[in-house]
Structure 1
Amino acid sequence: MASFHLDDGTLTVSLAGESVTLLPKEYALFAYLLNHPDRTLSREQLLDAVWPSEHPTDRTIDDHIYRLRKRLRHWSHSMMIETVRGQGYRLRLNTEPSFYGLAQHDQEFVEGFRKLIGKYHLYGMGSAMLTIAAHQDVLGIKMDRFYEVYVRFVSGKFHWIVDNQSLSFWEEKLPYLLILYSYVQSDHEKTLYYYQRALQSGKLSAGWQHDLKTELVSLYLFLGRLEQAKQGIEALKKQLATTDEDICHYLFVLANELKYGLITNNQSLLDKAQQQVDERLARVPYLREQGTHAVLKGMILLQRGARAAAVSHIDEGLNTLRFSRFAPHLIQSVRSLLFFLEQYHHDPPLLSAYTALWNELKVTYRFFDLEQKIRRELHAYL
């Protein structure tokens, strides 16, 4: 099947090294069709998906389908938008000649590719991961299933994950739904309930259980359950060795420890945890973690009264996260920053500025729609 790559930021569709930039509604329509391949979709379904708050006519769909066919006609060998008379439209992805045969059977090549994508993941280089995802056809090899989903999560294609019915719910979908729900849902008690149900189910892999327990500490901090947060941090630190392979996880735990220190105003803890962060980032300068911890360092400086230096660190961190192309980490950092400003540091101009950024993220990633869709799925399974 054709491996299309969509970039929500630029509204660009790519295949085999070629790209086409679409208008917003054209892009949204093609993205929805691509998420439902080989399914006949009525005009009503398409209108609800792409124009949820508007009142366009069936003619609007027909016009946009016509334009999409025209804009993407040079990929007619790979895909076709079919008219199903009296029912609607269907995206047909054509089977293409396999470019993967030789590479997929070359074990050295496959292992080298896996190590490469793993290193980009480890170093927080989202742009590199997205580049590989967009050019798999040209490179002659497919990503592992995990990265096919993870790259979408990293790049902010959250609706692709939520809407995709082909994913295994417990292993490929639920962990992402829980993490996203913690971003878009302001009722932290409700989020905690779903986290606990998932962890008690016994259906998650050991790796996902560890990741969700780490996320759980953040929830405890938001809820003011400081003793539970402290216990969670201590338990996670005991589990993690400080080898290079575990440093990114250890840095995430340290991020929660810094948040705990900020909330409790424990200056000695902050100094100790910050020193541990600096030592590890000096050894392995993971881009994603550099951004996250620059924002946290700015929050510490705010608490200590160094406002100008604090704002410089925060903005540098947010820019680093944007550059890394790890959308979830950017969202999480802004969310933590707002929590700190709202609860523990009175600075109306800064609160206003970063609230505006949060509102931009809410619109860009359609938080309201995500919250409704995720809640329905979590309620059905948990």
Structure 2
Amino acid sequence: MSGLTFDDGRLTVESAVGQIGLLAKEYALLHFLYLNANIVFSRDQLLERVWTGEYPVDRTVDDHVYRLRKKLKTIGGPTIETIRGVGYALSLRPSASDGREPSLRDPAVQEAMSGVFARYHRLGQGRAMLALAGQRETLGFELDSFYRLYLHFIAGDLRWFLETNEAPIGERIYWLLLFDMFVTDTPWSKAGLCERALRLKALPADGHREMELLNIADLYAAEGRTAEALETLEKGRQAAAEQKLDGFVIPIEISELYVRLMEDGPEASEMQSLRAAKLLEAEPYMRELAGYRMLEGTRLLLAGSISAGEALLGEGLDTFERSGFVPHRLLALLRICDVLRRHMPGSSAERKYSAKLATEYNRLGIAGLEHRLRETIEGYLDNLERT
């Protein structure tokens, strides 16, 4: 197998034979294809993943592939194959004698495993995804570039995202922004940071859409920008209906429950709670169900139903533990703390859940990384503005 070593800082690629220097987009394209070796991508898919937010001419991908082939040849690198009528794939074929499972060379197996990961993702079963990834050598499949990063996100591994050389900063920036959403006691505007990233088109296409139509609403609500939060979620609903973004539907309703709780308190948010609950009856996905239970438990606390509220909050935390989605558990705890600080400041409930959140930060090693996280994000955005 032709191994390559990538240097993000110098935009160089090295093999056992030699080293080549690349232009920025040549480097990004080769790195993406290398991380997704033996997977065929159409020109449109490559434009979306590598030239996010740009408007290149039709032959952009073809021209870059042509130049990369010439450069890779000089260092005995792998081949970028043309799949007629479909697109391109970087060929990293194990030899028959390398002892690796034949399933690694079987596209049907790779496609099937990607489908399993996607389904577990939708169902909110992070533990199942992590367990399956842990068996990939035995089962003989490779993770695609998205899930290589996403599994670290599920585990709440902020330090990995800050320090890894396995993925360039452009592929990590969306996840770093999500981590910034979860940290507390920071003097900067988190919404402002995300707005800047959106304005600079710094995020991959899927991340840009999710940030613009869903995630940033939480930040607006936390900063008292309720109208902008509700406007964001309404745009998200419209986009979900028009583009058939089924995975957005329930998270949007749960996010609005948080916004309503922040602004209006328990009584005014009851109808929104019922709306989210009805959707979850039909699709009780574990991650979303846990987030809803924690917000509804908080709503009951505010309404004076202490016993019922605490019971539902406990169920939510238990469901998150079973789901394995660490960042979503952090987000749910942060939402609870925001609501309780707004409506029950200094109460025993506010102190209790603030302490739980602090315990989680310490357990995950996130405490103390806030400023480093901020500097990493701003440094990347500063570089984009200069180029």
What TM-score, normalized by structure 2, do the two folds share?
A: 0.69
Deviation at 1:168, TM superposition (A): 2.5
Match of 2:359 in 1: 360
Deviation at 1:270, TM superposition (A): 2.8
Does 1:220 pair with 2:220?
A: yes
How many positions carry a matched residue from both structures? 287
Does 1:125 pair with 2:152?
A: no
| CA deviation string 1:258-291 (max 9, x = no partner) | 1122123276763332233222222221101110
Deviation at 1:219, TM superposition (A): 0.6
Contact 2:266 2:302 (8 Å CA) reproduced: no
**CA separation in 2, counterparts of 1:270 and 1:350?**
19
Match of 1:348 in 2: 347
Contact 1:299 1:337 (8 Å CA) reproduced: yes
Match of 1:154 in 2: 154
Match of 1:39 in 2: none
Q: Look up the SS of the partner of 2:262 in the other structure.
A: helix
Match of 2:293 in 1: 294
Alpha carbons of structure 1 residues 258 and 242: separation in structure 2 relative to 1, 3 Å? farther
Amino acid at match of 1:103: S
| CA deviation string 1:106-144 (max 9, x = no partner) | 232222111111111111111111111211111111111
Match of 1:183 in 2: 182
Within-5 A mapping of 1:296-375: 296-346=295-345, 348-375=347-374
Match of 1:144 in 2: 144
| Bigger shift: residues 218-227 or 349-358 | 349-358
Give the gaps of 5 or more residues in structure 2. 2-96, 382-387
Alpha carbons of structure 1 residues 369 and 189: separation in structure 2 relative to 1, 3 Å? closer
**CA separation in 1, counterparts of 2:367 and 2:266?**
38
| CA deviation string 1:35-73 (max 9, x = no partner) | xxxxxxxxxxxxxxxxxxxxxxxxxxxxxxxxxxxxxxx
Match of 1:163 in 2: 163
Q: Look up the SS of the partner of 2:196 in the other structure.
A: helix
Deviation at 1:196, TM superposition (A): 1.4
Deviation at 1:162, TM superposition (A): 1.3
Alpha carbons of structure 1 residues 125 and 242: separation in structure 2 relative to 1, 3 Å? farther
Contact 2:182 2:330 (8 Å CA) reproduced: yes
Contact 1:251 1:277 (8 Å CA) reproduced: yes
**CA separation in 1, counterparts of 2:309 and 2:245?**
29
Give the gaps of 5 or more residues in structure 1. 2-96
**CA separation in 1, counterparts of 2:111 and 2:258?**
38
Amino acid at match of 1:299: T
**CA separation in 1, counterparts of 2:270 and 2:245?**
22
Match of 1:209 in 2: 208
Match of 2:235 in 1: 235
**CA separation in 1, counterparts of 2:262 and 2:234?**
17
**CA separation in 1, counterparts of 2:98 and 2:274?**
51
Contact 2:221 2:229 (8 Å CA) reproduced: yes
Contact 1:188 1:219 (8 Å CA) reproduced: no
Deviation at 1:105, TM superposition (A): 3.0
**CA separation in 2, counterparts of 1:299 and 1:99?**
55
Alpha carbons of structure 1 residues 264 and 371: separation in structure 2 relative to 1, 3 Å? closer
Contact 1:318 1:330 (8 Å CA) reproduced: yes
Q: Look up the SS of the partner of 1:369 in the other structure.
A: coil
RMSD across aligned positions (CA): 2.5
Q: Look up the SS of the partner of 2:369 in the other structure.
A: helix
Contact 1:177 1:374 (8 Å CA) reproduced: yes
**CA separation in 1, counterparts of 2:116 and 2:260?**
36
Match of 2:109 in 1: 109
| Bigger shift: residues 120-129 or 358-367 | 358-367
Contact 1:198 1:204 (8 Å CA) reproduced: yes
Contact 1:299 1:310 (8 Å CA) reproduced: yes
Q: Identity rate of aligned residues, in percent?
A: 23
Contact 1:99 1:137 (8 Å CA) reproduced: no
Deviation at 1:101, TM superposition (A): 5.2
| Bigger shift: residues 138-147 or 300-309 | 300-309
Alpha carbons of structure 1 residues 268 and 350: separation in structure 2 relative to 1, 3 Å? closer
Deviation at 1:347, TM superposition (A): 6.4
Contact 1:261 1:270 (8 Å CA) reproduced: yes
Q: Look up the SS of the partner of 1:367 in the other structure.
A: coil
Alpha carbons of structure 1 residues 268 and 300: separation in structure 2 relative to 1, 3 Å? closer
